[in-house]
Structures are given as C-alpha cells and as structure tokens.
Structure 1
C-alpha cells in the first residue's frame, strides 16, 4: 500500500529510544499520508519493548508495532521490519535518530519520482557529553556530518550514503527476496562493530536500476551517548569498514562494467590476489606520509582489515561477480 513504514531496529535501546519516538510523534504536514512505526526488538536484554509501548501510548499519532527478532544482527532486525512493513516506502531510523518534524512529509514528496529507489541524508551531532578532540575529523564514521553538497542531489554514480536515516522502496526488497538474495554483508551484530549492510543496501538498489539521492533538506539529530564515542569503538568500526570494503569493491567493479566501462583494470580487480597486492603496495607507499599518529593508526587498521578479509573470503569474492550478474533488475 502507498505510505511510509518507519523501521527502528533496537538492541538494548532503553537509554535513547524514548526521545526518538517522541520526535516521530510531532510530525507536521503529513495529513492524508498513511504511515506507521515498527520497532524491532533484536533480542534486547533491557526494557526496550516496554519503553516503546509506554512512550507511544502518550500520543499514538499512527499505529506502532513492536516485533521481536531473536536472531541477533542489524541485518536480521532490518529484514524482520521490512517483512512486517505495510507500506511501499521504508524509512530506516536508528534508535538514537531524532528526526525533524517534516520527516514524513518530505519523504512523501521525494518518492513521487518513480526513478528514485533510495535516499540518504545528513545527521547533525547531538551529544551526551562534549566529544573528544579527534571526533570532528572522524564524524562520518558515526553517521554525522554532510557528505554531499546540494539540497537534493543525484549520487547514483557514487551510491553510498549513511545508513542512519536512509529510506528505500519496499519493492527493492520484495524483488530481492523472491530471488533468494543473500547479502554479502551483515552489518552490526549486537555490540560487535561489523559494517557494510547499509552500503550494500545502496549498491543493490542501484543494481536493480533505481537512482540514489542524497538530501541536505531531510535531516535529523543523531544523539550519541558518551560510551559510543571512544577511540576503541572507532578502531573497531574502522576494522569493520575495511572488511566491508572487499565486497563494496565487487559492486563498484560490477557497476563500471555494467555501464560500459570495462577495462584491463576492472578485469584484474576481479582477482583477489591482485587487490591484496595493490593494498599492500598502497600501505607501504602511504603509511609514512601520514603524519598524524591517530590518522595513521586508522589507515593501518582499515588496510589490515581489507587484506585479512580478502584472503579469508577469496572464494566468495571471486564468485560474487557472477552472483551479482544473476540478480535481475526491476523492469519499469
């Protein structure tokens, strides 16, 4: 049905979820728009589900459902929310995203264009305590800060946006699930900082023939608790980004070749050992040129993650290109 399903995947979200829901409860300009909120409790051990129901009872502006997904992992929680969604536009809101009061109305306006399959946006930082000095340089890792210029921009060529605040047509997933699609990347699992599920959501949507857009008009405040802004967490996320880079590379090479840009380099980059060699050369070429010790540490972590992952997943990497080729685009 025409409308918007807001999906909030939660794992032990009791500290942040109430304010996220209250920002959804004050939406303006959405009269006549059908929408709902789905909270997916991903096997939390706190009172996430109870808080969601209690807060929503204060102002039940639209229907809210709380569903349980016992298999831990952001990808599993998202899938549960997607399968439960009633409406044709999915708005993926993190448990700590305080969306603007025109969120629903703006999404509804954007998706009147049938060529658009997925939209990302900018998150503004909101902090429990002042962030450390290194944070500003690394804020994009925490889904904070502007990635692209322009109020509403076609970024199909690049096709990567933050997962927080991302929206996508449900038709994308209905189509993929009927083909038995299995994503390469699983995203965060509990407190384990794996990565890439959001990037894959963008890239597979592009593979199906849709355009990807980025909005600086659609925005939210990303409330971040002090325990989520630590150097150790950034290190762990950086390793996750590096591991995800392996299969993001598969999508990027496939995109180049599917748009007529086949070359000797794209053919070579389908070979796992060629990418491993390239990463090692890049590492030894650049590491001593990076003067900031923290920046150099993150560079080394991401490089190491890519190298370890492509060796471990070399067979899966080689087979991934044919797998993507078998995914059929959506016909207009």
Structure 2
C-alpha cells in the first residue's frame, strides 16, 4: 500500500535560470515533522544545466530526498507521467519550475487531503514580475496562472472542475488506476517551448469523471515568478490558440458530466456531434463579431475571442472522428468512487 505523504513533482525544460529559487522555497518548509515528503525533478531533455544547478542547490540543504530523473521524450505530459510513476507518496503536488511555494505548502496540502472525497486541489498564484506588466495584462492574468479564479478560502468547485496547472495537487491512486488501464489522455500539455494546452484541464476533468470532488483554496499560497519575455501579447495569442484547440477535447468530459448529473437535454445530445459544434461556433462567432477587420486597436480583446473560436473549429474539423469516438472511450472508464 502506498505511504501517506506528499510527492512534489517539478517538470523542467531548460530551467537553470529559475529552478534555484523554486527549490530554495521548498527547502524553507515548516511544520512538516510528521509528514513524509519528497521532491522529484524531471529533466525533460534540457539542453542547459538544469539538473546540475538543481543538485547543487539541494545539496546545500537536503531537508528531504530530491530525485532528479531524465525524460528524453519531450513534452510536459511525458515529464509529469515519469514523475507520477516514480512518486512514493499518495498526494502529488505539481509545482512549476518558476513557482515559489509558501512555507506551509506541504502542511496545508496534507491537511486538505485528509478529506477522502477530495481528488484534486487547485490554488491561486500571486504574480512576481521581472518587469512591470503591460496594461492589458490585468484582464488576462488568469491565462498566465496568476490571480484567483474563485471566491472563498476553501471552496468546492466540482461543478466547474477547472484550476490552473501551477500548484495543482492530486491523488496518485487516480493516475495509478488510469495508467494500469492504459489510459491515454485526449490532450497533451506543452512540448518544449510551444504553447499547446489542455493537460491541466484534463487532469481536473478525469478526476471528476472518476467520482472525486475538486476543491480550490485561496489560503494555499505560492508566488509565480514571470520573466518579462513571457508576458507578451504574441504569447497570449499563442496560448489562446492552445486554449481553443483544447476546448474540443474538454467538451466530451463536460457533456458526460451534465448527463450524469441529470442535466441532459436535446441540446446536450446534439453536442456529441462534431458538425453541430463546428457550425454553432461559426454562427456564434459571426454574430458576436461580424466585422473582424474593424478593430479598436492592437490589444482589442475581440481578437482573442476570434483566435480561440477559430482554433476550436479548425481542430474539431481535423479531428472530428477522434472527437466523436472520445465519448465511447470515456464511457468505458469506470468510476473509482
């Protein structure tokens, strides 16, 4: 049987400039005397000195074991899978390479997961910036995993089932079960420096699909350091495209959840067909913005709406067979609770 405790998983790709401080914050943990925990750093085939820098920092204050693993298959999902499989403890804490967690991080995660109904937990990140962000950033900070998504210190968000991947924690037994049954996610996360999206959302949705509750805490804190080259309008547009593409394969989870919760409808039934979603999105896009060439300026938020909708329609057209077959795949996954 798996030991109680927390396994912190950090997937890294060329992280030598940011990993030191992330590890130093983990080394500053308090009130964990009765909680076994570890840190697993997965080097996702970096071309810099990520692993060497990490080892040097941790060796200065090795408060718990640090394991550095190499995953040569590039892709955030591949790196996380390697970390999940290697984890010794029952709770997985997903920490990005630029997340500075609070000194009570391990203590609070362990406390929250004493509730056996909770399968996954998310939290808000406080922005720490290398340079003052541009004006448009405040309205779009959630896309960068900064800011709060829900009100309340500790709230059940199972109905929405969406939290940022940064700072996400989840029960390991969920992924042990999925991997043992050869589950293949419908979505993949970042690959190298590309902005593909959806893996974090799917972690939430598959957890709910298996019968667990999703919670969100504003009382669990971390700081999200963001370099100036990561806060650009061009990057936001690229991320938005990734969000639109991932919407295609988060949709089946949502439809099945509504059916299970007795919220099914004729409209919901039609959403199982790729063509219905394709044309509905096309019509909605035209109604909301019939003259896309008329803009208020470079940072008009309507640009982002169009990018997301266009990305959705392009992907559902290209992968229409996969979309419709996904319902059967998900129906075959048995609930754990």
Fold equivalence (TM over 0.5): yes
- Which runs of 5 or more residues in structure 1 are unaligned? none
Question: Counterparts in 2 of 1:217-296, with a 5 A limit?
Answer: 217-287=219-289, 293=297, 294-296=300-302
Pairs aligned (count): 331
Shift of 1:225: 0.5
Asked whether the 8 Å contact 1:4–1:87 carries over to 2, the reply is: yes
Q: Deviations over 1:59-83 (max 9, x none)?
A: 1010000000000000000000000
1:318 counterpart residue number: 324
In 2, Cα distance between equivalents of 1:160 and 1:289: 32
In 2, Cα distance between equivalents of 1:65 and 1:75: 18
Q: Deviations over 1:137-189 (max 9, x none)?
A: 11011000000000000000000000000000000000111111000000100
Asked whether the 8 Å contact 1:69–1:77 carries over to 2, the reply is: yes
Q: Deviations over 1:97-152 (max 9, x none)?
A: 00010000000100000000000000000011111111111101100000000000
Shift of 1:285: 1.1
Shift of 1:288: 5.2
Asked if 1:147 is matched to 2:153, the reply is no
In 2, Cα distance between equivalents of 1:196 and 1:152: 24
Shift of 1:231: 1.1
Q: Deviations over 1:283-328 (max 9, x none)?
A: 0111259975420111111011000000011000000011100001
SS in 2 for 1:134: helix
In 2, Cα distance between equivalents of 1:285 and 1:120: 35
In 1, Cα distance between equivalents of 2:234 and 2:130: 18
Task: Show structure 1 runs of 4+ deviating over 2 A.
Answer: 288-294
Asked whether the 8 Å contact 1:196–1:244 carries over to 2, the reply is: yes
In 1, Cα distance between equivalents of 2:187 and 2:72: 19
Taking only aligned residues, the RMSD between alpha carbons, in angstroms, comes to: 1.1
Asked whether the 8 Å contact 1:287–1:299 carries over to 2, the reply is: no
In 1, Cα distance between equivalents of 2:296 and 2:211: 41
Asked if 1:70 is matched to 2:72, the reply is yes
Q: Deviations over 1:12-53 (max 9, x none)?
A: 011111000000000011111000000000000000000110
1:199 counterpart residue number: 201
In 1, Cα distance between equivalents of 2:133 and 2:33: 38
In 2, Cα distance between equivalents of 1:218 and 1:258: 31
Change (3 A) 1:292 1:82: farther
In 2, Cα distance between equivalents of 1:311 and 1:266: 19
- Which runs of 5 or more residues in structure 2 are unaligned? none
In 2, Cα distance between equivalents of 1:40 and 1:287: 44
In 1, Cα distance between equivalents of 2:74 and 2:181: 24
Q: Deviations over 1:271-294 (max 9, x none)?
A: 100001110111011125997542
In 1, Cα distance between equivalents of 2:81 and 2:244: 24
1:300 counterpart residue number: 306
Residue of 215, 218, 224 corresponding to 2:217: 215
SS in 1 for 2:135: coil
In 1, Cα distance between equivalents of 2:15 and 2:241: 24
In 2, Cα distance between equivalents of 1:245 and 1:286: 19
2:24 counterpart residue number: 22
2:130 counterpart residue number: 128
SS in 1 for 2:24: helix
Shift of 1:252: 0.4
Question: Counterparts in 2 of 1:168-183, with a 5 A limit?
Answer: 168-183=170-185
In 1, Cα distance between equivalents of 2:231 and 2:289: 25
Residue of 55, 58, 64 corresponding to 1:56: 58
In 1, Cα distance between equivalents of 2:291 and 2:285: 10
